[in-house]
Structure 1
Amino acid sequence: MTVLVTGGAGYIGSHMVLALVEAGEDVVVLDNLSTGFREAVAPEAAFYRGDMADEALVMRIVARHDVSAIIHFAGSIVVPESVADPLGYYLNNTVKSRSLMASAVAAGVKNFLFSSTAAVYGDPAEVPVTEKAPFAPMSPYGTSKMMTEMMLADVAAAHDFTYTALRYFNVAGADPEGRTGQSTARATHLIKVACETALGKRSHLDVYGTDYPTPDGTCVRDYIHVSDLANAHLLALGAMRNGEGSAVFNCGYGKGFSVLEVVDAVKRVSGADFAVKLAPRRPGDSPQIVAGADRIRKTLGWAPKYDDLDTIVEHAFRWERHLGLAKAS
């Protein structure tokens, strides 16, 4: 029985493929390579270049590889970009996810893992925010993910279909063994951008908003190591296979760091100073969002290995330095 990973050539998806291969799973990847990289896919995995909304292609892959579960990463993830291009985000994140679900139901794939986001909570009334908090997205990105979660719940109620939605907080870091990491050009992830700046790939780092109601005025986020996140997916897949039923889990560590604290961590780990410029707030950003992560720990027994900001930054910095050396050679 094979696991189909959509977006498996991307940042989080490539780490998931590595984790699945190491767990002894048969893996097939579907990615259109719009933001992913073919070389990021573990060689043990079968690869197809194509669109997740191509239902005929998905059906062929499922039949050819005896796919029993889908882990769905493919999509667009930049909050400000979603504000400028809402229709693009609803197409890529919601409409195409609907097509993928239709393929799964038609092919009899019963287990479906979805990469959702803490952006479905918007600016939560209580922090840490738990899975019981209401949907209140502040951006088309968050709304597009919310709509997909709603579709999954309806599909599970109507068919022999089990899903798990993992609501990511801020994913960062890289594979500790240096096999893959965040390689996207013009990425907006804070830790990656700060590492690029520390290595001289950018002239400065912009801090968007310094007047938020937080201790130092900058946004506060819960950062989770990408390898810990991949492990959470493995546990969720196992639970579904064991008949545990559909579920929703926050994926974070339960503690937050401000933008300026992250900048200090990157300077500390890299040993480099760099210019920081203060800029206005970006549309769609929540002042503070931290995970209430008790449910995933208690239900799945999730025990993160890299719950340390400096470790996350170190792995991200090593990968960024590797990218620079690879480009130079």
Structure 2
Amino acid sequence: MSEQGSVVVTGARGYIGRHVVSALLDAGRDVVAVVRPGRAEGVDARARVVEADILSPGFDVAAIVDTRTAAFIHLAWEDGFSHNAPSHMRHLSAHFNLVSAVAEAGVPRVAVLGTMHEIGYYEGGITAETPTNPRSLYGVAKDALRRSLLLHVAPKVEFTWLRCYYIYGDDRSNNSIFTRLLEAVEAGKPSMPFTTGKNEYDFIHVEDLAAQIATVALAEGVVGVINCSSGVPVSLASRVEGFIAENELPITLEYGAFPDRPYDSPSVWGVADEIADLMASRPL
């Protein structure tokens, strides 16, 4: 066991979680990777894997944290790519109970994954102080969790809320537009229905995001809402066309076939000054 203490990561088998686990291990940290029962395959073999239903009533956090735990990173979430799934609201209290129990167990640093969908419709750069007005059940649930943990957990531990934006990379493992492009090509489709593509988003590669999450989670003294982002708005069309070119995909986009979602902003990004400073001053 490292003298630095172990780092517990929930959702360790997930799209983001697998990369966070590896980033921490590469930095020489001991990692406890928490996954759902039967979901251990694919987790970095250097981690200690614990299979548990962490959101079940009566779950005992002693199964995943102890006095040697230096940090707890809560990434687990169901239906993250289905923004209006009822499960977001059904599981909200379970997430609150879990993180609260971890704080009460004496873990000194707690980091929880958030989303820019907490903000709702907004134009411009998002900061920690930007008001939230979510327009999807996913955003509503995440925003409620953030508010409740800032009130209940933040006074007890060093608490960070990791606000993420639009993620790409490792595209066989998610359910994004990039995944759907690959699937369309495999199905032999020459084109794919698309929105106007004009909206500008803050895109970040999943490995860069994992490095940011690991850095923030281990940065003693850093608390509050932290944008895990590139800080650069790029049009959806540019990023997707770039993906098609980079991977030499024989497919075109049918622009305007789908309407833009009413809760997506014309141009939005995370102001990344704080994360850039952290990455420069506290490398893993």
Please state which band the TM-score falls in when normalised by the shorter chain: 0.7 to 0.9
**Which residue type is aligned with residue 62 of structure 2?**
M
Cα offset for 1:158? 4.2
What is residue 69 of structure 1 aligned with on the other side? 71
CA distance in 2, matches of 1:29, 1:250: 24
Aligned equivalents of 1:198, 1:266: Cα separation in 2: 13
Report if the CA contact (8 A) 1:218-1:260 is conserved: yes
Query: How much has 1:67 moved relative to structure 2?
Result: 2.3
Q: What is the TM-score normalised by the length of structure 2?
A: 0.86
Across the aligned residues of Structure 1 and Structure 2, the Cα RMSD in angstroms comes to 2.6
Residue 126 of structure 2 is matched in structure 1 by 129
With normalisation by structure 1, the TM-score equals 0.75
Aligned residues: 276
Paired position in structure 2 for 1:53: 55
Secondary structure in 2 matching 1:38: coil
Q: Does 1:298 align with 2:283?
A: no
Amino acid at match of 1:263: V
> C-alpha displacement at 1:293, in angstroms?
0.9
Query: What amino acid is aligned across from residue 148 of structure 2 in structure 1?
Result: M
Distance, in Å, in 2 between the alignment partners of 1:237 and 1:254 is: 19
The DSSP-based 3-state class of the residue aligned with 2:62 is helix
Equivalent residue for 1:138, pick from 135, 138, 142: 135
Aligned twin of 2:18: 14
Corresponding residue number in structure 2 for 1:269: 246
CA distance in 1, matches of 2:152, 2:248: 51
Q: Deviations over 1:80-108 (max 9, x none)?
A: x332x33x11223x222112123213321
Q: Deviations over 1:283-310 (max 9, x none)?
A: 5433332121112223553799xxxxxx
Conserved in 2, the CA contact under 8 Å of 1:124 and 1:133?
Answer: no
Report sequence identity in percent. Answer: 28
Larger % of helix: which? 1
Note if contact 2:25-2:46 (Cα within 8 Å) is conserved in structure 1: yes
Runs of 4+ deviating beyond 6 Å: none
Q: Deviations over 1:212-241 (max 9, x none)?
A: xxxxx632211101111111122212322x
**Which structure carries more strand by proportion?**
2
The answer to whether residue 244 in structure 2 is matched with residue 247 in structure 1 is no
Unpaired runs of 5+ residues, structure 1, are 175-180, 211-216, 305-329
Query: Of 182, 186, 200, which aligns to 1:195?
Result: 182
Residue in 2 aligned with 1:90? 89
**SS at 1:39 equivalent:** coil
Give the corresponding residue for 1:226. 206
Which residue is equivalent to 2:106? Answer: 108
Could you say if the C-alpha distance between residues 265 and 140 of structure 1 is closer, same or farther in structure 2, counting changes exceeding 3 Å? same
Match of 2:33 in 1: 29
